[in-house]
A and B are shown apart, each in its own frame.
Chain A
Amino acid sequence: LPYVPQVPPMALLGRVTATTFALERPRGVFDGHADASDSVWLAVAFANGERSLFLWQGTWGPSPQPLTHHLCRAASAAFRNPQCRAEVPLYQQLLAACSYMTLETAAAEYSCSAPSPAVLRVGGDTACGDQDRQDPCNGPLPSPGPYRVKFLLMGCRGPKAETRWSEPILLRTALSPSTIEPAPARPGSALVVIASILASLGAALAAAVLGALGAKAWGSLCHRGLGTGAFIRRSYRSHHIPPALPQPPPPGCGCSPPGLCPSA
């Protein structure tokens, strides 16, 4: 079938996360090829060139701890369609076989008229790897990939049709929060303005006070010498020369207003 599975083009924040990804639902792709009893599987395989498989140990330290080191080269090219339902590689075999099949759904759900959400989520079943289940399930993907997927239409007697392989889908790899730099690179402009203006004001005030006190001290040191300016006022004030007292009246003149003495 000429259909190519793809990640939904609309802007969904969760369409690719660290362990899951979403796919566009293939509407009407299998019409005309599928009977009522057929089921459509999704085959997931590591993309060509995937070198090794790291398993996260659950710590969020600076580097992942590799539990198993496994080469998964050309998994999608080497994928063989299973001939019957019993041969379907399961989620639990992903690490060993480098591929698995999941999302078994009836073909009728992919017809044009079926009402269903527009997006399929691969990896959404967290109860998958818990027990030793031998049923096909949709567990979270253990490594960032990249993966290739294709849809496979399986009938009672074997595979009937398949779509093309998708482009490689790379999952997210999260960074450690210790890489975050909390300090700002440079101080903000407002801080620089406040600090510089306040510093200059403070310096101006200190200089003015020192200048005024110094001038006063200098003036008091020169107080005994030939001081000039305002300090003359001080020396004048200290050695205040009272204005001349009126001359005492000549003896014998008993008149109070001067000049009105009787001539005698």
Chain B
Amino acid sequence: MAKSDDCVHILQGLLVFGNVVIGMCGIALTAECIYVVSNPHGAYPLLKATENSDIHAAAWIGIFVGLALFALSILGIIGVIKASRTLLLVYIILMLITFAFEMASCITAATHQDSLTPNVFLKQMLERYQKSEPNNNSDNEVTKTWNELMLQNHCCGVNGPSDWQEYTSAFRLTHSDADYPWPRACCVLDAKGLPVNLDGCKLGVSGYYNSNGCYDAISGPVNAHAWGVAWFGFAILCWTFCVLLGTMFYWSGIEY
């Protein structure tokens, strides 16, 4: 009898430890998702313009899931220590619902990160940058964001300045190819904001223009946010799965 008592105590101890970890991870997930929601990176207007802000939906779900995990972990600890069947049954059912929501958030974040290919930004840039009759405010935002991106990161276009040569664009309508093979922001500028060597920039002499593309500068922060939400949520779910299995085993062994 003492041996099975020991086993029960060990199982209780493991379940309490598991719930403590879940509670802490829930708080961490809430904090991380609040950070993602409230701290948009510089390229956020571009994401808004693609009408693909799934990462925000995933982060909002993550905030509430984190709080729910914290509350449920406390309920779980109480239920395990008291060996109460009703408490543990409520705990298991609510945890399953939370599990389902967190699964949705994870997959949404991973899908969002997957869908942001260079071509998405390339098409948006060609169609909207310096559009002469902006339909709405988002076109102005796109232009402003691209100018800031190109100036701060010393880059040009999505894959490089050749984007402006390979495709026609809204920019090309208002700026002739002879004068502006690519926008002035692609040239190396001096302290006053004027190109150091305009002819060199137009010809593409290295040193007078920025030859690398901006895709790395855009995708870096976007990927960091998306992976943070997706992979951390995935890790929490794996741990929660184990704790839930243990809790169900414990629940089924409790006597009335």
Q: Which of A16-32 contact B (CB under 8 A)?
A: 17-20, 22
A195 in the interface (beta carbon within 8 A) = yes
The interface residues of chain B, by DSSP majority, are classed as helix
Evaluate contact between A191 and B111: CB separation under 8 angstroms.
Answer: yes
Residue interface bits B229-256, CB-to-A below 8 A is 1, else 0: 0110010011001001100100111011
Pick the contact of B241 from A174, A177, A205 — CB < 8 Å? A205
Q: How many residues of A contact B (CB 8 A)?
A: 53
Evaluate contact between A216 and B252: CB separation under 8 angstroms.
Answer: yes
Evaluate contact between A212 and B252: CB separation under 8 angstroms.
Answer: yes
- Stretch of A87-95, A155-163, A181-189 lying at the B interface: A181-189
Residue interface bits A193-206, CB-to-B below 8 A is 1, else 0: 01101110110111
Which B positions have Cβ atoms within 8 angstroms of A?
Answer: 92, 96, 99-100, 103, 106-107, 110-111, 113-115, 117, 119-120, 122-123, 126-127, 160-162, 165-170, 172-173, 176-179, 181, 199, 202-205, 209, 211, 230-231, 234, 237-238, 241, 244-245, 248, 251-253, 255-256
Evaluate contact between B123 and A177: CB separation under 8 angstroms.
Answer: yes
Evaluate contact between A180 and B123: CB separation under 8 angstroms.
Answer: yes
For this complex, 18 residue pairs linking A to B, each with C-beta atoms less than 8 Å apart, are: A13-B211, A20-B181, A124-B202, A126-B178, A177-B127, A182-B117, A182-B123, A183-B115, A184-B115, A188-B114, A191-B110, A194-B106, A195-B110, A197-B238, A198-B237, A202-B103, A206-B96, A215-B252
A14 in the interface (beta carbon within 8 A) = yes
Residues of A within 8 A of B169 (CB): 60, 177
Evaluate contact between A176 and B167: CB separation under 8 angstroms.
Answer: yes
Evaluate contact between B255 and A194: CB separation under 8 angstroms.
Answer: no
CA distance A157 to B130 in the complex (A): 51
Residues of A within 8 A of B179 (CB): 126
Evaluate contact between A18 and B165: CB separation under 8 angstroms.
Answer: yes
Nearest B residue to A139 via CB reads B178
CA distance A14 to B177 in the complex (A): 10
Evaluate contact between A198 and B203: CB separation under 8 angstroms.
Answer: no
Evaluate contact between A17 and B255: CB separation under 8 angstroms.
Answer: no
CA distance A236 to B205 in the complex (A): 93
Q: Taking A140-B178, A184-B114, A208-B248 as contacts, is the C-beta distance between A195 and B203 under 8 angstroms?
A: no
Pick the contact of A175 from B96, B167, B241 — CB < 8 Å? B167
Evaluate contact between A60 and B168: CB separation under 8 angstroms.
Answer: yes
Evaluate contact between A17 and B168: CB separation under 8 angstroms.
Answer: no
Q: Taking A126-B178, A180-B122 as contacts, is the C-beta distance between A15 and B203 under 8 angstroms?
A: yes
